[in-house]
Amino acid sequence: MKEQNYLDNLVGVFGHPVAENPGVVIQEAAFRNLGLERWHFLTVDVEPGSLGDAIKGLKAMKMRGINCTIPHKIEVLKYLDKVAPSAKLIGAVNTIINENGTLTGENTDGKGFMIALESAGVNPAEKSVVVFGAGGASRAICVELALAGARKLTIVNIPKDSALAESLVRILKENTRVATEYVPWAGTFKIPADTDIVVNATSIGLYPNVTGKPDVDYDTITTRMYVQDVIPNPAFTPFLREADKRGVRWQSGMQMLINQAALNITMWTGLKPDKEVMRQALEAALA
Ligand code: NDP
């Protein structure tokens, strides 16, 4: 008789708001393609005050791992047993691996971003980069850019979050060789002419606020620049529309999302998923 094993392997995402997070589409497509019929990805709405309870639930249900998104990436650190060195430096975790009740935090956001840059033929070594935002995604991206040898990082963030931006600048100065500057975002930001790479790492433009656009003087974008958005949904944001109008090379947050989701799957299952299958599933869902 065939062995009967109906035990489900659960992974997923904790966030708030999270209903529009397309992680489930990408991950389920990858699981089915890998023949992992009893692996399932859950999209779970966890409000800010409930993260501790949600982590207890994760352990109780022996979930194999979880992604953390807005607003939990920094808060979640205090619930973990181990944190990978790069995630520690970033100060934010987007992926948790549960090995028999021991929780390890990793950060694949910045790594997914770097793979996206590479696929666009952009090498950040010795480049000058402007990054909007100082939250979880920004921290991951800035650390990876600094470790990859970027020459200069300008972090533009709204003044009410200056402590967040200042702590990021301090971490970069203490641990890497990049020249780093925090610019309080007060009024329309003019991108310095010597900038090579421009990154929107804020949540401005994310569904359902699809008309949101960072307060930037878009006429300061020149053709020497490469523009990258982190927003995966919608893929073509108002920020990218402005970049496109100026004839610069750009990439949406979609490929970054697929890259980091692929890394997550490998951390949870030990298997390498087919990114093309994941991309097609995401494009179909967002069409
Ligand atoms: P956080 O909440 O940690 O950070 C968001 C940042 O954006 C904060 O600095 C925030 O400031 C800033 N921000 C938000 N609204 C405004 C505004 N109107 N003006 C100026 N600054 C603003 O979120 P994350 O870093 O986790 O995520 C940011 C975005 O990145 C999300 O849209 C997420 O979907 C996307 N993302 C994409 C990934 C991908 O693979 N493509 C991976 C990870 C994230 P404040 O805190 O004051 O609001």
Question: Are residues 195 and 151 in contact, defined by beta-carbon separation less than 8 angstroms?
Answer: no
Cβ(22) – ligand 1 distance below 6 Å: no
pLDDT of residue 192: 98
pLDDT of residue 281: 96
pLDDT of residue 153: 98
Give the residue carrying structure tokens 């994310």: 206
Pocket probe for ligand 1: among 43, 72, 131, 203, the residue whose CB has the most ligand atoms within 8 Å is 203
pLDDT of residue 233: 84
d(CA 264, CA 148) in angstroms, rounded, equals 21
Instruction: Give the tens place of pLDDT for each residue, 1-23.
Output: 778 899 999 999 999 999 988 89
Instruction: Give the tens place of pLDDT for each residue, 64-77.
Output: 999 999 899 989 99
Task: Kindly give the distance from the C-alpha atom of residue 251 to the centroid of ligand 1, in angstroms, as a whole number.
Answer: 17
Q: Inform me whether the pLDDT recorded for 214 exceeds 80.
A: yes
Atom of ligand 1 nearest to the CA of 203: 32
What is the mean predicted confidence (pLDDT) over 180-186? Answer: 95
Known catalytic membership, residue 73? yes
Atom of ligand 1 nearest to the CA of 73: 26
* Catalytic, out of 2, 73, 190, 245: 73
- pLDDT category of residue 207 using cuts at 50, 70 and 90: confident
SS3 content of the chain, % helix, strand, coil (to 5): 40, 20, 40
Task: Kindly give the distance from the C-alpha atom of residue 227 to the centroid of ligand 1, in angstroms, as a whole number.
Answer: 16
Instruction: Give the tens place of pLDDT for each residue, 32-81.
Output: 999 999 999 999 999 999 999 999 999 999 999 999 998 999 899 999 99
Question: Are residues 123 and 100 in contact, defined by beta-carbon separation less than 8 angstroms?
Answer: no
pLDDT of residue 3: 82
Collapsing DSSP states into helix, strand and coil, what is residue 249? strand
Name the nearest CA neighbour of 269 among 5, 57, 27. 27
pLDDT of residue 208: 86
Instruction: Give the tens place of pLDDT for each residue, 103-113.
Output: 999 999 999 99
Q: Is 204 left (phi over 0), alpha (psi -120 to 50) or beta?
A: beta
Task: Kindly give the distance from the C-alpha atom of residue 56 to the centroid of ligand 1, in angstroms, as a whole number.
Answer: 26
Atom of ligand 1 nearest to the CA of 206: 32
pLDDT, mean over the chain? 95
Cβ(161) – ligand 1 distance below 6 Å: yes
Q: Inform me whether the pLDDT recorded for 161 exceeds 80.
A: no
Collapsing DSSP states into helix, strand and coil, what is residue 29? helix
The strand ranges marked E within 46-196 are 65-68, 82-83, 95-99, 102-106, 128-132, 152-157, 179-184
Instruction: Give the tens place of pLDDT for each residue, 233-255.
Output: 888 999 999 999 999 999 999 99
